Every structure is written in structure tokens, then in C-alpha cells.
């Protein structure tokens, strides 16, 4: 058997006025996804348990077949695994966004999708001025970075993701709880350091959003996740760009395939990801492709960009992968799943169960309708514990 799982992150949405009352998924031209939904099955899956935040790490872990209540270590530990950052048993790692705070409000949680060279210069500066034996900053991609606090594992800090507070006064959402004083102080000091940095002076001259502060969140300790092959008995290749997905791949023992031009943004190399997935199917049982672009468009509140991103995923990933699977005869299955909704109206993740569609061997069509949130909702297939759907996908007979 050959299997493919394609994850258009945050693709699920609500009806949008600018799209004549349709969701981006309904407005997009998606012949590949529609074929899967029509010739296979579609439904919904609850990917975020009530006790956990509406985080991509939680939702993706669910889709990949792991109960996040048991296995989710926090956003930052997953990204630390991607960067091969060694964490001690008492260390705490935080996601460290470069953000734009204007008039004490969260103006842009991406600092204008700051460029890599600029971001690395700012992280170097923060390490020079704030770093120590106990505090270390690690450069990631664009606005997404990490900070490790040695020996802070006993803290009970509660933090808020910056993408959940667009336009809000940041003072209300600063870290709180035991151990939060030092974390808040680092954020405060970063604002002083970054305020007049040359990178931000140039960005200001160009009319771009400044990286005026760091924002610390998504913290956790050293992660441990059981290897996928030990749980499900299949060998996996993963194609993606963002560190949270790469970290999961590392921890699960997957082969991770890096694709040139894969950015984790709407300008990513869709065709390159599709081609890499197609090639990987020759040597692996299961190929998983993650595309961040729909989620980024949702956070940006841009329905047209979200429609375009979904269409690119369908054209360059779903279509070619489906064609490749058919070359194996009847022994294949394909699954397309949005990990969570990211409505363009709010730009914030929600906990609503997102739609999925799957097709292939032994999967019999029930509802012959195109793939959409509404059609998935009226189907007969709903997974209240989303992490259980992976076993169905791999084992159903």
C-alpha cells in the first residue's frame, strides 16, 4: 500500500462576504480535492481537545495520529527539535517572534514578514546584549525564532500567542504566573534594544513594519514523542517548510525532505513540494506534505490570497500526488486534511472541527459532493477524537 496525507494548514474557514458568502475552500478551484471528496469520503474531525489551545502544533499532532493531551509538549519544543537544539531536563524553550508593537498595540505579529538576513542580525544583537549562560536566542526563519532559558523548568509561565491578539493592547497579554517576571523583563529590554537598530531604521525609511520587540510564547520543556513506525508500522517521508512540522517529523523518526524555495509563506514553492512528494512515494509507505500558506493568508485577513493558496495546493500537490498514486494500481489511499480553521474575518485559529476528505482502496463513496466545510458537516463521517482517524486511514479494510 501507498499512502499520502496533504495538510493545507488553516484552510478551513467561515463564509466570507467578499467571496459572495462562500468560504475560501468553496470559492477555490480544487478539482483534485473535489475528486477525492466525491469518489471517497469527507467529514469533520475534532483536532483540538477542550483542555488545549487552538495551536497548530496541537492540531497537527492530532491529524498525525497522536493524542495531544498525552503527547503535546508545547509549540517551542517542537521547533527546537527541528533546529536540533539540545534541551536539558530543567530547560524551558520559548517561541520568540519578532513583532511590530505600535502605540502599545500588537500591530503585526510577523514584523512585516521580515527578511532572513535582517532577522538574523537582530537575533545576533539580542544574544550580544541579553544573552548569557542562562538565556540563549536561536535564529529561525523570518519572524519565527526561539529562546532557551536554562534551569527554568520549574516555572509556571502562561503566555499568549501574538497572532491571537492583533490590534490589542499588549500590556493585557504579557506573560503571567510563576517565573513570568524575568520573561516580561526580556520583552521589555528587547524593545529598548531594537528601537533604534539600523535594521529598523532602514525598514522605517522603506515604509516597512519594524521588528520593534520580541514576543515570547509557546513554551515547554524537552519533548518526547513515540516513533511513528513503532505506533503504525509504516515508513514516512515528510515535505514541508515550517519548523513546527519539521520538528514533529524529527521526533517521529520521519525522513524530512527540504525543498528549495519552500518558505512557509504564500510565496512558497508549491510545485517543488508536489514533485518531492511524488518522488518520495517510490521509496516510502506514506508521504506527508504540509503547506503553511492558507494559514498565513488567514492570519493576514486576505481571502483572495487564501483562495489562491488553496488552488496552488490542489494544482501542484494534490493533483500530481493523486496521479502518482494511481500508477500503483488499486493499492493506495490519499487524505487531505485542514488541521484547524483560520478564518480571514478574525485572523485567529478556532477550535471548530475542520473538514477532511479521503479516498482510495476500500473507501466507499457516500456523499458525492465537492469538498467543502458545509458538505463535510452534513456527511456521516465525524471523528470527535481526531487523532484516531490516522489508524482508520492506514488500517481500514
Task: Tell me the CATH number at 388.
Answer: 3.40.720.10
CB 12 within 8 A of CB 349: no
Same structural domain for residues 210 and 228? no
Burial category of 328 from C-beta neighbours within 10 Å (exposed 0-12, middle 13-18, buried 19 and up): middle
Q: Let me know if residue 237 belongs to a domain.
A: yes
Position 229 scores a pLDDT of 95
Same structural domain for residues 101 and 121? yes
Same structural domain for residues 302 and 325? yes
Closest CA to 289 of 247, 242, 240: 240
Q: Let me know if residue 82 belongs to a domain.
A: no
* Mean of all residue pLDDT scores within the chain: 95
Q: Let me know if residue 83 belongs to a domain.
A: no
Position 165 scores a pLDDT of 94
Same structural domain for residues 279 and 379? yes
Q: Let me know if residue 205 belongs to a domain.
A: yes
Same structural domain for residues 233 and 350? yes
Same structural domain for residues 390 and 285? yes
Q: Let me know if residue 250 belongs to a domain.
A: yes
Q: For 60-109, what is each residue's pLDDT tens digit?
A: 999 999 999 999 998 999 999 999 999 999 999 999 999 999 999 999 99
Same structural domain for residues 270 and 389? yes
Q: For 250-304, what is each residue's pLDDT tens digit?
A: 999 999 999 999 988 899 999 999 999 999 999 999 999 999 999 999 999 999 9
Range of the domain at 356: 2-73+224-395
Average pLDDT over residues 166-193: 95
Same structural domain for residues 261 and 190? no
Position 396 scores a pLDDT of 61
Same structural domain for residues 142 and 173? yes
How many domains does one find in the chain? 2
Same structural domain for residues 191 and 235? no
Question: Residue 20 — pLDDT band, cuts 50, 70, 90?
Answer: very high
pLDDT above 70 for 197 = yes
Same structural domain for residues 189 and 243? no
Q: Let me know if residue 321 belongs to a domain.
A: yes
Average pLDDT over residues 321-342: 97
Same structural domain for residues 186 and 247? no
Q: Which of 187, 220, 253 is the last residue of a domain?
A: 220
Position 240 scores a pLDDT of 95
Q: For 362-374, what is each residue's pLDDT tens digit?
A: 998 888 999 999 9
Q: Which of 220, 241, 261 is the last residue of a domain?
A: 220
Q: Which of 220, 254, 281 is the last residue of a domain?
A: 220
Question: Residue 219 — pLDDT band, cuts 50, 70, 90?
Answer: very high
pLDDT above 70 for 397 = no
Q: For 111-130, what is each residue's pLDDT tens digit?
A: 999 999 999 999 999 999 99
Amino acid at each position: 500500500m501507498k499512502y499520502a496525507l496533504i495538510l493545507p494548514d488553516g484552510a478551513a474557514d467561515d463564509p466570507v462576504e467578499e467571496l459572495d458568502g462562500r468560504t475560501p475552500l468553496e470559492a477555490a478551484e480544487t478539482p483534485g480535492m473535489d475528486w477525492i471528496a466525491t469518489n471517497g469520503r469527507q467529514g469533520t474531525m475534532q483536532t483540538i481537545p477542550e483542555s488545549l489551545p487552538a495551536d497548530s502544533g496541537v492540531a497537527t499532532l492530532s491529524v498525525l495520529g497522536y493524542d495531544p493531551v498525552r503527547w503535546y509538549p508545547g509549540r517551542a519544543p517542537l521547533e527546537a527539535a527541528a533546529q536540533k537544539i539540545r534541551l536539558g531536563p530543567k530547560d524551558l524553550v520559548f517561541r520568540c517572534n519578532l513583532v511590530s508593537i505600535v502605540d502599545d498595540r500588537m500591530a503585526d505579529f510577523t514584523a512585516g514578514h521580515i527578511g532572513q538576513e535582517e532577522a538574523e542580525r537582530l537575533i545576533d544583537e539580542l544574544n550580544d546584549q541579553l544573552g548569557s549562560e542562562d538565556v540563549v536566542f536561536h535564529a529561525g526563519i523570518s519572524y519565527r525564532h526561539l529562546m532557551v532559558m536554562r534551569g527554568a523548568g520549574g516555572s509556571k509561565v502562561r503566555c499568549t500567542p501574538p497572532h491571537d491578539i492583533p490590534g490589542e493592547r499588549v500590556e493585557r497579554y504579557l506573560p503571567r504566573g510563576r517565573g513570568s517576571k524575568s520573561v516580561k523583563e526580556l520583552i521589555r529590554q528587547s524593545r529598548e534594544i531594537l528601537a533604534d537598530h539600523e535594521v529598523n531604521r532602514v525598514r522605517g525609511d522603506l515604509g516597512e513594519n519594524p521588528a520593534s520587540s520580541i514576543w515570547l510564547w509557546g513554551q515547554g520543556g524537552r519533548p518526547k514523542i513515540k516513533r511513528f513506525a513503532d505506533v503504525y508500522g509504516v515508513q514516512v517521508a515528510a515535505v514541508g517548510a515550517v519548523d513546527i512540522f519539521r520538528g514533529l517529523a524529527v521526533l517521529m523518526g520521519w525522513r524530512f525532505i527540504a525543498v528549495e524555495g519552500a518558505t512557509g509563506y504564500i510565496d512558497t514553492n508549491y510545485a517543488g513540494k508536489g514533485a518531492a512528494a511524488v518522488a518520495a512515494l517510490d521509496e516510502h509507505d506514506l508521504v506527508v506534505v504540509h503547506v503553511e500558506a492558507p494559514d498565513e493568508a488567514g492570519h493576514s485577513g486576505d481571502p483572495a490570497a487564501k483562495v489562491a493558496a488553496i488552488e496552488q495546493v490542489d494544482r501542484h500537490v494534490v493533483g500530481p500526488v493523486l496521479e502518482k498514486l494511481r500508477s500503483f494500481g488499486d493499492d493506495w489511499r490519499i487524505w487531505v486534511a485542514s488541521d484547524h480553521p483560520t478564518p480571514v474575518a478574525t485572523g485567529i485559529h478556532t477550535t471548530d472541527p475542520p473538514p477532511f476528505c479521503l479516498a482510495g482502496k476500500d473507501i466507499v463513496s457516500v456523499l458525492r459532493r465537492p469538498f467543502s466545510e458545509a458538505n463535510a458537516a452534513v456527511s456521516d463521517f465525524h471523528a470527535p477524537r481526531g487523532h484516531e482517524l490516522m489508524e482508520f486511514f492506514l488500517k481500514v479494510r
